[in-house]
Structure 1
Amino acid sequence: MSELARMLIDAGRWIDQQGWCPATGGNFSIRNDEHSALVTASGRHKGALTEQDFLLVDMDGNAIDSSLKPSAETLLHTALYTLDPQIGAVLHTHSVTATVLSRVISGDAVNLSGFEMQKSLAGNTTHDDLIKIYAFDNTQDMQALATSVNDVWAQNPLQWGLLVKGHGLYAWGKDINEARRHLEGLEFLFACQLELIRLGKIDG
């Protein structure tokens, strides 16, 4: 088994245990080199991945020497790798918390501040900073979604992750371990934010 596949299989089992990728939702990827990434094939349950459930794609999302079909959102993964050469892995999940929070916010981002867990996100050393996680409108047109991300990134490069409204979270990092940490940290922060909204302590 390739080391890259093993890392994604381990991540999939852990994510499944958290309940963050029900059914066959979500997709994962890890950078292979400057021009390609290993991604999950479409329709695979993320808690039961095997080495046969992955394929290499180029940075346009096209399969390389494989008859497998890449996950529908592969184009967003490759767009992120192209936008930031430091991104080494991307984990896309469908947790209830992230999905609901993405629908109740009134603006274009979740604004987080005052939480110690913000320090789980690379580059943050204090709870006082404002953490902004942008939320994009959902669409089945992945090229349109990738273009929207490109447009926002041009004005303000995104860090750690993004939300797609009514859909889920994309979290990334310089490697699979950092991507997992960012995913876990963001899920905790989102749960806290959603609870504050439920309690009426903050607006959505």
Structure 2
Amino acid sequence: MHNDAAKTALIDAGRWVANKGWVPATGGNFSIRTEHGFVVTASGHDKGNLQPEHFLELDAHGVIVAGSGKPSAETELHLKLYALKPSTRCILHTHSVAATVLSRFIQGDTFSVTGYEMQKSLSGVTTHLEPLNIAIFDNDQDIARLADVVAKHHATTPVVHGVLIRGHGLYAMGDSVFETRRHIEGLEFLFACELERIKLEGTR
């Protein structure tokens, strides 16, 4: 994908995600792998009103080659996820209420669900009968250290659809912008269902 096409795709994705209420304030960050490197959102912009000048162009090594503004501090985690799963072409990081709350409520290191038909919205999942697992990592302001923790996890349990960062949100991955958007929507449905289930369990 060319850089201009990548920016157009992320502008459209930004409007869609913002309309869902999943990137409040100037939260979130988006990226696409291009023919020659990456296009990433610059820090501090409303993701529902992105413009072409709100992006940075990076080379294949993650060095900024065009654009103005400051890259998100989390760009390094994007680059690590691309390296861990080379087929990934788009990463969208969101801050929904359900994802953020569940990542804090769950004490372990995995969001695990089974029994939901919507699990099949994620690539490679063919049945609701098998558990779907999304790794949860503790938030860390040292992004390089966080990226290393994710990489160590991936060495034994591959990251496929995305990861949750505790108290922070979701990094969804896909082999195209379309697939990443589908993964976000499917996962957010599952997060919302589990949050409602937990609430109902508490009323028994």
Answer yes or no: same fold by TM over 0.5.
yes
- Alignment of 1:160 with 2:164, yes or no, is no
- Residue 170 of structure 2: aligned partner: 169
2:7–2:52 contact (8 Å) kept in structure 1: yes
Q: CA RMSD in A?
A: 1.4
Paired letter, 1:152? H
1:89–1:173 contact (8 Å) kept in structure 2: yes
2:33–2:90 contact (8 Å) kept in structure 1: yes
Instruction: Quote the Cα distance in structure 2 between the aligned partners of 1:67 and 1:29.
Output: 16
Matches within 5 A, 1:136-151: 136-151=137-152
- Residue 23 of structure 1: aligned partner: 25
Instruction: Quote the Cα distance in structure 1 between the aligned partners of 2:126 and 2:85.
Output: 22
Paired letter, 2:55? F
Matches within 5 A, 1:59-70: 60-70=61-71
1:63–1:69 contact (8 Å) kept in structure 2: no
Residue by residue over 1:120-176, the C-alpha shift from the partner in whole angstroms, topping out at 9 and shown as x without a partner, is 000111110111100000011110110010000001111111100000000010000
TM-score, normalising length from structure 1? 0.94
2:55–2:67 contact (8 Å) kept in structure 1: no
**Residues 6 and 97 (structure 1 numbering): CA distance in 2 closer, same or farther, change over 3 Å?**
same
What SS does structure 2 have at the residue aligned with 1:2? helix
Instruction: Quote the Cα distance in structure 2 between the aligned partners of 1:87 and 1:118.
Output: 20
- Residue 6 of structure 2: aligned partner: 4
Paired letter, 2:150? V
For structure 1, list consecutive stretches of 5 or more residues without a partner in the other structure: none
Matches within 5 A, 1:1-204: 2-33=4-35, 36-58=37-59, 60-200=61-201
Paired letter, 1:54? F
Paired letter, 2:31? S
What SS does structure 2 have at the residue aligned with 1:170? strand
For structure 2, list consecutive stretches of 5 or more residues without a partner in the other structure: none
What SS does structure 1 have at the residue aligned with 2:16? helix
What SS does structure 1 have at the residue aligned with 2:100? helix
How many residues align? The count is 200
Instruction: Quote the Cα distance in structure 2 between the aligned partners of 1:10 and 1:177.
Output: 11
2:37–2:61 contact (8 Å) kept in structure 1: no
**Residues 118 and 164 (structure 1 numbering): CA distance in 2 closer, same or farther, change over 3 Å?**
same
Instruction: Quote the Cα distance in structure 1 between the aligned partners of 2:110 and 2:192.
Output: 15
Instruction: Quote the Cα distance in structure 1 between the aligned partners of 2:193 and 2:101.
Output: 13
What SS does structure 2 have at the residue aligned with 1:64? strand
2:114–2:132 contact (8 Å) kept in structure 1: yes
Residue by residue over 1:30-59, the C-alpha shift from the partner in whole angstroms, topping out at 9 and shown as x without a partner, is 0013x6210000101100000000111245
